[in-house]
Structure 1
Amino acid sequence: MNSPCIQLCQIDRTTGLCAGCSRSLDEIAGWAGYSEERRAEIMADLPGRRAAEGQEGGE
């Protein structure tokens, strides 16, 4: 099963996203039960989340 996990598991209190993979706690918890299509949708969204996190830190 494909996963964005990089073993850096810390949830940011502001965004609610993992610092390592940019998934929410709900996404992390449900990952194994999601369809391949749903996991692919989330994976496609992750680069945008990371970019948004970087912009928040720079303001």
Structure 2
Amino acid sequence: MSDKKVVSPCVSICVLNPEDVCEGCYRSAEEITQWSCYNEVEKKEVLALSRQRRADDGAIL
């Protein structure tokens, strides 16, 4: 099991689209504001969701 901390996926392009999802990291506004409260498992879940949103949006992974 890895002891690595999950780091924020923020890329400093902080613009929310009409669905309240950041166009830079593809996290929702709620996920962004709650990031520091999430445990490592929850952070990994958010990363998976943001990767899926990015793919759904057709962005390059």
Query: TM-score scaled by structure 1?
Result: 0.80
Q: CA RMSD in A?
A: 1.6
What are structure 1's unaligned runs of at least 5 residues? none
Which has a greater percent of helix?
A: 1
CA distance in 2, matches of 1:46, 1:23: 5
Deviating runs (4+, > 6 A) in structure 1? none
Partner of 1:23: 27
Measured after TM superposition, the shift of residue 46 of structure 1 is: 1.7
CA distance in 1, matches of 2:15, 2:41: 26
CA distance in 2, matches of 1:16, 1:54: 17
